[in-house]
Chain A
Amino acid sequence: MRTVGQLAWKAVARWEMLLVLLILAAGVWSWTLSSFFLRRANLLDLATPYVFLGLLAFGLTFVVIAGEIDISVVSTMAVSAVCFAQLWDSGVNVWLAAAAALALATGLGLVNGVLIGVLDLPSLAVTLGTLAAYRGLAYVVLGGDAIAGFPTHFTNIGGGYISNELPIALLVMLAFAVALGLLLHATRFGRYLYVLGSNREAARFSGIPVMRTRVTVFALSGFMAGVAAVVYLGFFGSIQADAASGSELIDVVTAVVLGGVDIFGGSGSMLGVLLAFVLVAELRNGMQLANWSGATQDMVIGGLLVGAILAGNAVRAAQARGWRLGMAGRRWKEVHHAEGQEEVSVRATLKTPGGGSTR
């Protein structure tokens, strides 16, 4: 008979399956709202406006698995996008400007990383501070202006299509999902993050370069914010200092947590985050179709975020209890079994002296 623990373990292993089911359910809901939903063009294009959020979520996944948090990613993206636009506006080659934006974003992530990894400050407070500070930088650089009119060969990254149907942004995102998935699941660096997120002391004692890994993970998160900035510019074609200053942060955090990444660090998968991102994008799309106000949509996503963590906590609690139950059951069985054996042997000893006399 299966114990509660085994069932709960199954539930965790099937978190991704649950996400797929949720995606299908949300699809059905969207389909009842508008029959256009199921057209191939719409299905392919569904996630395009949100690809930059997915890229931010991928970066954040590494940070959260390592047991930290980076809420400054949206501001990092805004600063690097703004600086890109200023550089381009002042005559710098568009690809050179993009490279500069990537470098800047990585540098800003590195600042977070040094404050957190080297000075050992709490990531929550540091990135809350840099969330505001980087946003302020974006305003300082661009003021209240907007810059638009980037060349098409550049904006294609975020807003172009292959044969008028397949969004390039989607391919960019999938490529990063695969590459980062390999980095997370198939390299030593990736394994370090899981150890770091489970138990930092144990990580230190087992010889993992804790400081370097923590700094790197924030630099990586910053780099992904730079990539997101490029895609953002491509899709929207214009930039202002207040870019992504609203509900974007909560979407990113929700995608990560709903994707099954333990908010306390130490577990999570790239596939889960990708699926959760698709779910969030699909829900946004559906709520847009249903003509819900932005604040109402945010409320739903906020509820989803809270619900995802509560569900994760409940599963883990059941798992812990179930394991204990399962263990107790096993021990009981062992004892029982042993008792039975003893009984048999006692009987045997009882029998032997008398030989066949009793029967």
Chain B
Amino acid sequence: MNTRRFVSAQALAEAVVRLRELGIFVALAFTILFFSVRATNFMTADNWRDIATDVSMVVVVAVGQTMVVLTRNIDLSVGSIVGLTAYVSSNTLADHHGLPIVVTALIAMGIGALCGLGNGLLVAVGKIPAIIATLATLAIYRGVLFEVTHGQNVFASQLPQSFLDLAAKKPLGVPSLAWIAIGVALVGAALLRWAPWARDFYAVGSNPDAARLAGIPVARRVMTAFVISGALAGLGGFMFAARFASVDAVAGRGFELDVVTAVVIGGVNVFGGSGSVLGAVLGALLVTTIQDGFTLMRVDEFWKIFFNGAAIVVAVTVDALITKRVQEALRRRRRAELLTAHERAAET
């Protein structure tokens, strides 16, 4: 009796998540339909390659952000980490032309992971609310970037040709950066599905106290999430350098907002404990497609900023209302079951 109720409740919750993803998918389909009618050059292979390249940076960083948000935290510092690692990647390659590109990517991820560790320590050990801690590190990492660059830029002409070719390559017709994003999304989704420590993110976010009582090392899991987010922001920075070639001290400014919007629109609940990589990827696709469509329709840059913010508010509202409904439904169902159990007990 007891187990059956548990399974059905879980099934209901899972159905809601699937429905949420389906909702984004439908919204995406409508968006694509709208722009293909209204915006010229939207349904061209070139434009889709542009979208794929743009979306891949968002996706890579959003996978890390998803893990952080699942633990009921947030990482606003990713914009600065992307800027910092983008500069470091391109500067390293400008100085050492012979360095394998993979090594550069690993350096960027390492620096990103260190930044993430800093966030994780502040949040998990220092007990600072994530939004405040990462707001501070957003400023701190940007300051480090300024100190490192001394206001200087790295230009495309200083970079080795192999690196400049990276973003232009299209194995199997798909931009190489998109392949990286696909890989990261698959690994991220697999981890969240099957790796026990990544499953713990859900438990930590649903109820930190219960997770602690269940023996989950909550502080360590939160740190892990932040380190992964930092490392992936580092990879995002590397991709940024590959895409734009010339990098300055304001690189990646405001990028955190794109990422958070993608994750929140994608149905990763800001209360923690629910959401998926697939949702975040769909969210990133939706945000990027809409922005691309706006550009093609020559809508003001300014509306995009407004749209990002409004999208966060709407997504959060919808999610909160859905969560409330589901909880009420579960409560009703539990009450009904208890009543029938009571009646049965009375009969016998």
Q: Does B108 contact A (CB under 8 A)?
A: no
User: How long is the Cα–Cα vector from A319 to B288 in the complex, in angstroms?
Assistant: 49
- Contact residue among A119, A253, A299, A313 (Cβ-Cβ distance under 8 Å from B320): A119
Q: Which residue of A lies closest to B321 (CB)?
A: A119
User: How long is the Cα–Cα vector from A39 to B235 in the complex, in angstroms?
Assistant: 51
Q: Are A309 and B128 in contact (CB under 8 A)?
A: yes
Q: Are A69 and B131 in contact (CB under 8 A)?
A: yes
Q: Which residue of B lies closest to A264 (CB)?
A: B129
- Contact residue among A129, A137, A295, A306 (Cβ-Cβ distance under 8 Å from B146): A295
Residues of A contacting B142 in the complex (Cβ-Cβ under 8 angstroms)? 295, 298-299
User: How long is the Cα–Cα vector from A71 to B132 in the complex, in angstroms?
Assistant: 10
Q: Does A134 contact B (CB under 8 A)?
A: yes
Q: Does B26 contact A (CB under 8 A)?
A: no
* Given A140-B303, A295-B146, A302-B137, A129-B132 contact (CB < 8 Å): no
User: How long is the Cα–Cα vector from A300 to B147 in the complex, in angstroms?
Assistant: 12
Q: Are A115 and B317 in contact (CB under 8 A)?
A: yes
| Of B133, B300, B309, B317, most A-chain CB atoms within 10 Å | B309
Q: Which residue of A lies closest to B147 (CB)?
A: A296
Residues of B contacting A143 in the complex (Cβ-Cβ under 8 angstroms)? 300, 302
Chain B, range 104-155, C-beta contacts under 8 Å to A: 122, 126-129, 131-133, 135-140, 142-147, 151
Q: Which residue of B lies closest to A254 (CB)?
A: B136
User: How long is the Cα–Cα vector from A250 to B77 in the complex, in angstroms?
Assistant: 13
Q: Are B126 and A306 in contact (CB under 8 A)?
A: yes
Chain A residue total in the interface (Cβ 8 A): 47
Q: Does B310 contact A (CB under 8 A)?
A: yes
Residue-wise interface mask of A (288-307) relative to B, using a CB-CB cutoff of 8 A (1 in contact, 0 not)? 00000111111111110110
* Given A122-B270, A296-B146, A306-B126, A135-B309 contact (CB < 8 Å): yes
Q: Are A128 and B302 in contact (CB under 8 A)?
A: no
Q: What's the nearest-Cβ distance from chain B to residue A143, in Å? A: 7
Chain B, range 308-334, C-beta contacts under 8 Å to A: 308-313, 316-317, 320-321
Q: Are B316 and A121 in contact (CB under 8 A)?
A: yes
Number of residue pairs spanning A and B whose beta carbons lie under 8 angstroms apart: 149
Q: Does A263 contact B (CB under 8 A)?
A: yes
Q: Does A241 contact B (CB under 8 A)?
A: yes
Q: What's the nearest-Cβ distance from chain B to residue A211, in Å? A: 15
* Given A124-B131, A136-B309, A298-B143, A310-B317 contact (CB < 8 Å): no
| Of B138, B145, B305, B307, most A-chain CB atoms within 10 Å | B305
Q: What's the nearest-Cβ distance from chain B to residue A102, in Å? A: 22
Q: Does B74 contact A (CB under 8 A)?
A: yes
Q: Are B132 and A263 in contact (CB under 8 A)?
A: yes
Q: Are B128 and A263 in contact (CB under 8 A)?
A: yes
Chain B, range 220-250, C-beta contacts under 8 Å to A: 249
Q: Does B260 contact A (CB under 8 A)?
A: yes
User: How long is the Cα–Cα vector from A130 to B308 in the complex, in angstroms?
Assistant: 9
Q: Does A132 contact B (CB under 8 A)?
A: yes
Q: Does B216 contact A (CB under 8 A)?
A: no
* Given A115-B317, A125-B264, A250-B135, A313-B312 contact (CB < 8 Å): no
Q: Are A121 and B146 in contact (CB under 8 A)?
A: no
- Contact residue among A120, A249, A299 (Cβ-Cβ distance under 8 Å from B140): A299
Q: Are B310 and A128 in contact (CB under 8 A)?
A: no
- Contact residue among A119, A120, A264, A303 (Cβ-Cβ distance under 8 Å from B136): A303
Q: Are B132 and A257 in contact (CB under 8 A)?
A: yes
Q: Does B194 contact A (CB under 8 A)?
A: no
Q: Does A131 contact B (CB under 8 A)?
A: yes
Residues of A contacting B74 in the complex (Cβ-Cβ under 8 angstroms)? 124, 128
Q: Are B320 and A121 in contact (CB under 8 A)?
A: yes
The secondary-structure label for the interface of chain A is: helix
Q: Does A156 contact B (CB under 8 A)?
A: no
- Contact residue among A69, A122, A264, A301 (Cβ-Cβ distance under 8 Å from B271): A122
Residue-wise interface mask of A (108-130) relative to B, using a CB-CB cutoff of 8 A (1 in contact, 0 not)? 00000001000111101110111
Q: Are B317 and A302 in contact (CB under 8 A)?
A: no
Q: Are A306 and B136 in contact (CB under 8 A)?
A: yes
User: How long is the Cα–Cα vector from A122 to B321 in the complex, in angstroms?
Assistant: 12
Residues of B contacting A301 in the complex (Cβ-Cβ under 8 angstroms)? 139
Q: Does A21 contact B (CB under 8 A)?
A: no
Q: Are A249 and B135 in contact (CB under 8 A)?
A: yes
Q: Are B270 and A125 in contact (CB under 8 A)?
A: yes
Q: Does A139 contact B (CB under 8 A)?
A: yes
Residues of B contacting A119 in the complex (Cβ-Cβ under 8 angstroms)? 317, 320-321
Q: Does A133 contact B (CB under 8 A)?
A: yes
Q: Does A3 contact B (CB under 8 A)?
A: no
Residues of A contacting B151 in the complex (Cβ-Cβ under 8 angstroms)? 293
Q: Are B126 and A310 in contact (CB under 8 A)?
A: yes
- Contact residue among B133, B143, B300 (Cβ-Cβ distance under 8 Å from A140): B300
Q: Are B126 and A130 in contact (CB under 8 A)?
A: no
Q: Does B189 contact A (CB under 8 A)?
A: no
- Contact residue among B135, B145, B306 (Cβ-Cβ distance under 8 Å from A137): B306
- Contact residue among B122, B145, B308 (Cβ-Cβ distance under 8 Å from A136): B308
Q: Does B39 contact A (CB under 8 A)?
A: no
User: How long is the Cα–Cα vector from A125 to B257 in the complex, in angstroms?
Assistant: 12
Q: Does A247 contact B (CB under 8 A)?
A: yes
Q: What's the nearest-Cβ distance from chain A to residue B274, in Å? A: 14
Q: Which residue of A lies closest to B260 (CB)?
A: A128
Q: Are A302 and B139 in contact (CB under 8 A)?
A: yes
User: How long is the Cα–Cα vector from A315 to B136 in the complex, in angstroms?
Assistant: 21
User: How long is the Cα–Cα vector from A226 to B313 in the complex, in angstroms?
Assistant: 22
Q: Return 9 A-B CB contacts under 8 Å, by A number.
A: A124-B131, A129-B312, A132-B306, A133-B310, A134-B309, A253-B132, A298-B140, A306-B137, A310-B126
**Closest 8 A/B residue pairs (Cβ):** A136-B306, A299-B143, A132-B309, A133-B309, A139-B302, A129-B312, A295-B146, A302-B139
Residues of A near any B CB (own CB < 8 A): 69, 71, 115, 119-122, 124-126, 128-137, 139-140, 143, 241, 247, 249-250, 253, 257, 263-264, 293-303, 305-306, 309-310, 313
| New A-B contacts (15) at CB < 8 Å, excluding given A126-B316, A247-B139, A295-B147 | A69-B131, A71-B135, A125-B313, A128-B260, A132-B261, A132-B308, A136-B303, A140-B302, A241-B302, A249-B135, A253-B132, A299-B143, A302-B143, A303-B136, A306-B136
